[in-house]
Copies of this chain bind each other. A is one copy, B any other.
Amino acid sequence: MTQLAPVLDEIDSSLDASVQRLFELLRIKTISTDPAFAGECRKGAEWLVKELKSIGFDASVRDTPGHPMVVAHHAGATSDAPHVLFYGHYDVQPVDPIELWHDDPFAPAIKESDKGAKIITGRGSSDDKGQLMTFVEACRAYKKVHGSLPCRVTIFFEGEEESGSPSLKPFLDANKDELKTDIALVCDTSMYDPQTPSICVSLRGLVGEEVVVKAASRDLHSGYYGGAAANPIRILAKALADIHDENGRVTIPGFYDGVEETPTQMLEAWEKLGKTPEKFLGAIGLGIPSGEKGRSILELTWARPTAEFNGITGGYTGAGFKTVIPAEASAKVSFRLVHKQNPDKIRDAFRAFIRARIPADCTVEFHPHGGSPAIQLPFDSPELTKTRNALAEEWNKPTLLLGGGGSIPVVGDFQTYLGITSLMVGFALDDDRIHSPNEKYNLNSFHKGQRSWARILDALAK
């Protein structure tokens, strides 16, 4: 502990300064899905390169056909420690509906939450700028105290995670020699609760699709054409409604191919956590699970596939009323995948399902928005054990192995292109409102996250 203790002290004493640095990053509007913010995304990448250089990393902005990547390298103190690849993403979700934010999403601040915790507010504070900065700040502290890092570290920051990661695979493929390490550390997940350190060992995959139903060649007056002309909202609503049966199961043929039943032992371990629908959904004003009937909340969100409708629009949606039959209507649909579900097959099956519900005089267009299979990581690697123990020491509680409901496509891509497995360690909390108005990151997550990474790097080097 002679190595580690002064690093932890340094983290404690420089917390205010590290918060100020995070604020700088949070002020940059790195919304990757909206082309209007491309300049801001580049600015975010450049800011990170500047920061990493200040810690002694050999860092650079790497252009892609989309938003740039950031890659940075730092030697380790000894050659027998593993070489780790740290991943985070500097892009963020859009901020609409903006009117629901209590503060400017890009003017971060420290506030007190209604639970009495100190929180860092702003878009990206949790997902994923706050998280990735825990690692950067751990490196900074280690470097300051010891003049070196315990392991050789390569940092890889992406700028398109929130928009389907179109450049990720080609970039990994083109730079696999540079990015190949012994193991990846991915910081984009949550803790089970504010007290329990957690490592995520499975992730759902994702298929995103936009469907556009087109009927008449122009918007129509519903008095004149109503009852005669095809209404694309009606066609779309019917097609979407057909996707779930009355038991919450997805009806698309072949959808459950490759889905395995969760082992009883795992279900029992989750059952012990006592996460009832009331507890899980009560915090967001709900109480009835909407998914497949007869399965627990944790199984539904960690181990079962879903079909969700993320957006729908068509016709007149402004103030007042307009008796129009619109020319088109569209929806954004996503599927969460588990186990061996094949994203390409799911996409094809969805399109065939929708096409079969489009009248002969109408048309439908599909626009793909990313796809990745589910991930299942090993339970028994030495790196996992070291990391579990390091986290347990910091949080003074055994580390929980859990499943992740969301997708982190990069974990699968690291496996495919670099041949390495990932340790998913994150400090976000369930109430961080990621992707929603009033996103926040607990100051405690930011602080103990830095300390956790210092411990993990130290443990991995031993």
Write the residues of chain A forming the contact surface with B, with a CB cutoff of 8 angstroms: 32-35, 93-94, 96-97, 100, 162-164, 190, 204, 206, 208, 210, 215-231, 233-234, 236-238, 240-242, 244, 277, 280-281, 284-292, 297, 300-301, 304-306, 308-326, 329-332, 334, 336, 359-362, 369-370, 404-407, 430, 433-438
Q: Which of B217, B288, B324, B430 contacts A310 (CB under 8 A)?
A: B324
A316 proximity list for chain B (CB < 8 A): 94, 96, 310-311, 332
Shortest CB-to-CB span from A316 to chain B, Å, is 4
Q: In the complex, are the beta carbons of B216 and A286 less than 8 A apart?
A: yes
In the complex, chain B residues whose CB is within 8 Å of the CB of A94: 316, 318, 320, 322
Inter-chain contact B281/A34, CB cutoff 8 Å: no
Known A231-B309, A237-B309; judge A323-B334 contact (CB<8 A): yes
- Which of A224, A225, A362 counts the most B-chain CB atoms under 10 A from its CB? A225
Instruction: Enumerate chain B residues within 8 angstroms of A306, measured Cβ to Cβ.
Output: 222, 226-227
Looking at the assembled complex, report how far the CB atom of A346 sits from the nearest CB atom of chain B, in whole angstroms: 14
Chain B residues whose C-beta falls within 8 Å of the C-beta of A233 in the assembled complex:
240, 309-312, 331
Which B residues are in CB contact (< 8 Å) with A215?
285-286
| Interface pair A324/B231, CB less than 8 Å apart | no
Q: Say yes or no: A240 contacts B234, CB within 8 Å.
A: yes
Q: Which of A96, A285, A289, A405 has the most CB of B within 10 A?
A: A285
User: In the complex, are the beta carbons of A223 and B237 less than 8 A apart?
Assistant: no
Residues of B within 8 A of A314 (CB): 309, 311-313
A215–B435 CA distance with the chains assembled, in angstroms: 16
Q: Which residues of B contact A284 (CB under 8 A)?
A: 216-218, 220, 225, 229
Pair B317/A227 contact, Cβ less than 8 Å: no
- The complex places the Cα of A219 from the Cα of B437 at a distance, in Å, of 7
Q: How many copies does the complex hold?
A: 2
Name the residue in A240, A292, A434 with the highest tally of chain B Cβ atoms < 10 Å from its Cβ: A240
Residues on the B chain within 8 Å of A370, using CB: 321
In the assembled complex, the CB of A356 is this many whole angstroms from the nearest CB of chain B, namely 14
Across the interface, A311 reaches (CB within 8 A) one of B93, B290, B304, B317, namely B317
Known A322-B311, A325-B308, A332-B316; judge A405-B224 contact (CB<8 A). Answer: yes
Given contacts A225-B301, A241-B241, A321-B369, 10 further A-B contacts (CB under 8 A): A33-B319, A34-B318, A219-B437, A220-B436, A228-B277, A237-B312, A238-B244, A287-B360, A311-B315, A311-B317
What 3 A-B pairs come out closest when comparing CB atoms?
A223-B406, A33-B320, A241-B241
Say yes or no: A219 contacts B436, CB within 8 Å.
Answer: yes
Shortest CB distance A259–B (Å): 12
A94-B318, A316-B94, A318-B34 known; A304-B334 Cβ under 8 A: no
Q: Which residue of B lies closest to A243 (CB)?
A: B234
Closest B residue by C-beta to A222: B308
Given the known inter-chain contacts A241-B241, A314-B312, please indicate yes or no for A226 contacting B286, CB distance below 8 A.
Answer: no
Residues of B within 8 A of A301 (CB): 224-228
- Chain B residues near A329 (CB-CB < 8 A): 312
Q: Is the CB of B286 within 8 A of A310?
A: no
Given B226, B240, B244, which contacts A308 in the complex, CB threshold below 8 Å? B226
Chain B residue, CB-CB nearest to A321? B369
Q: How near does chain B come to A303, taking the closest CB pair, in angstroms?
A: 9
Contacts of A217 in B (CB 8 A): 284-285
CA distance A190 to B217 in the complex (A): 21
A119 to chain B, nearest CB (A): 16
CA distance A169 to B204 in the complex (A): 58
Query: Which residue of B285, B297, B310, B434 is within 8 Å of A228 (Cβ)?
Result: B297
CB distance from A190 to the nearest CB of B (A): 8
* Pair A435/B332 contact, Cβ less than 8 Å: no
CA distance A218 to B93 in the complex (A): 15
- Complex-state Cα separation, A231 to B332, whole angstroms: 13
- Shortest CB-to-CB span from A312 to chain B, Å, is 5
In angstroms, Cα B405 to Cα A53, docked, is 70
Chain B residues near A164: list those with CB within 8 A. Answer: 320-321
